[in-house]
Chain A
Amino acid sequence: MSWAAIVFTFALVDNVVLSRLLGLPAAGQPGARPTPADHAADDPSIPDSLTSARSLPPGGREGARAAAVPAWWLGASMTVLMSISAVGAWLVNAWVLAPLGFTILRTPVMVFLVAGLALALQALARRVVPSMANRPEVSVPRLGVNCVALGLVLVTTRAEYGPLQSLLAGAAAGAGYYLVSAMMGAIRERLDIEQVPPALRGLPLQLITAGLMAYAFMAFDRAFLARLLGA
């Protein structure tokens, strides 16, 4: 599998979000600014009248302001974590598990690997860019992050990639995740201020949006890749 093919595959064709469903960016979390819409999600009665516009409790507003996390931060942390853990996974797999024949222990080992790396990265981020890392909603070992990273790690280890290929795959997957999270963030920004059906506001619309995006991304399939790269 050529380098370009790996990049395309992990960034677009096997996108970690749209094709592997590893985590859902911007689902009530970074990438979008919580608006009254989110709180209105609880009560189906969003005032239609323009005069009686509801104002938030100050706490809610502060939260809203604080939660404005740039998507690039998410994408960057994702990419770093994924690349590192992909390589780490390859090392562990090739030098520890395979020689000792402990392949059955692959899952727990990988879980610890990813979790450890995630914690380490978070600690590091706290040092370097506290402004970003100290926000609870962007703590690196988020469920989503773990999920994405771990899934990727398992994919690469099963695909028997070399270390560089694993690194590349990790980076590409991170890029793909960033692309999708940026798109979904922008779309959510639009939906947040629209009068959508109350029962669908928030997570359901996030899922459906992701589903429609997944259909759009079906255009990039393996056949496309093969023809484009002659691979």
Chain B
Amino acid sequence: MDLLEVARGPALQVSLAIFVFGVTWRLLGLLLLPWRTDHSEPRGTAPSAIVAVLQANLRKMWPHKTFVRATVFQFVNGYVFHVGLAIVVFLFAPHILFIKSLFGVTWPALPSNLVYAVGAITLFSLIAGLLHRLTSPVLQLISRADDYISWLVTLLPVATGLLAIIQVGARYETLLALHILSICLFFIWFPFGKLMHAFTFFLSRGATGVRLKHRGAQI
């Protein structure tokens, strides 16, 4: 069994199982905790909880104007690599095939050359994010090992994917294997670190949204 077979076979199998296992564990471990209900009478203008959750999630897509100047880098760079990752992950033909093989659903892909360019931008954006983390006193203070591990397991698939495309450093099948293995690493780390925010952000924003909207306040 060569490296690519290991990657496409047992490595994916095991890492996806760990991913699902960990995500279910963590999510259920949170969702099954007692939910604190606010019994106070809502402000007359308060929307329903569902609407509040959606409003909060929508509102949090964009910072308040007053915060823009000080956090413009985090905000813009955050958008660049999130959107970049989304494009690369969900609109690259081989990735769509991967998703189709898992879920049976499929959709049109973007031209590969365009995805390559987006991948390169994403890579630079991630590197810029790390440099910012390493140079900002605030981030130096609050960063945990998780932040660097999560960064690395996000960067590696992008970097190895790009290397596989330009075929630098090793033969294509080796790079492809490394690419898949790096994704396995991502899957394995995902449930245990902050990457989990991909699932919790909605609930976290929603919880505050419900609290503040209930009071007729803004989020």
Do the two shown chains form a genuine complex with each other? no
